Structure 1
């Protein structure tokens, strides 16, 4: 796994999620910017999944629990589309943008945790 990629994703998701959440707290409606932020998050997570499939074949397997890592990754892959679907259902409501922002922030935390699982040595 690529350490700098995971950390860059965690930071990017944190910043993007915070911006979207603040926009949501300002009661701005769901728009293309919010949809783009969720799409970027999902695309980056797909890149992470592909890298996670390839990495063990190159000798860079995880030092932590592989099942726990994949559970985090698959759950993170479900969050952005789920948040967007929820936001689209509540499109006229005032909380739809905030829902997506919180989902992206959750992905940031999950990616950081995946980094810990992949790289931290277990004694």
Structure 2
């Protein structure tokens, strides 16, 4: 894993969760800002996936590379699923879905770093 990128993903996803939580508390539906936040998280995750696979191909990965690859591919689905579900839910719970999606991304990045470093 690339530490600076993992930290950036965590910070951006937590900021996205905070922005979405404000919308939930204000009883607002999802807007373009939420989609932009999720899009930014997705771009960072794709970059992490590319760098992760390059490092795995160069034999720099963790001992349990299958679990890491599962997380690496699975995490890519979360922002897209959150955006789709959030757009379908036109109440305050649309941004609530995005809060959960962004928090899930942050937790999965921390878990991927634990797998990478062997601190399982």
User: TM-score band, normalised by the shorter chain?
Assistant: 0.7 to 0.9
Deviates more, 1:98-107 or 1:16-25: 16-25
- 5+ long unaligned stretches in structure 1: none
Alignment TM-score, normalising by the size of structure 2: 0.88
Q: What is the 5 A alignment of 1:14-33?
A: 14-33=14-33
Q: What is the 5 A alignment of 1:25-104?
A: 25-62=25-62, 64-91=63-90, 93-104=91-102
Deviation at residue 108 of structure 1 after TM alignment: 0.6
Q: Is the 8 A contact 2:35 2:83 kept in 1?
A: yes
Give the CA RMSD over aligned residues. Answer: 1.7
**Alignment length (residue pairs):** 120
Higher relative contact order (CA 8 A, sep 6+): 1
Q: Is the 8 A contact 1:22 1:98 kept in 2?
A: no
Q: Is the 8 A contact 2:79 2:101 kept in 1?
A: yes
* Runs of 4+ in structure 1 over 3 Å off: none
- 5+ long unaligned stretches in structure 2: none
Q: Distance in 1 between matches of 2:18 and 2:92?
A: 17
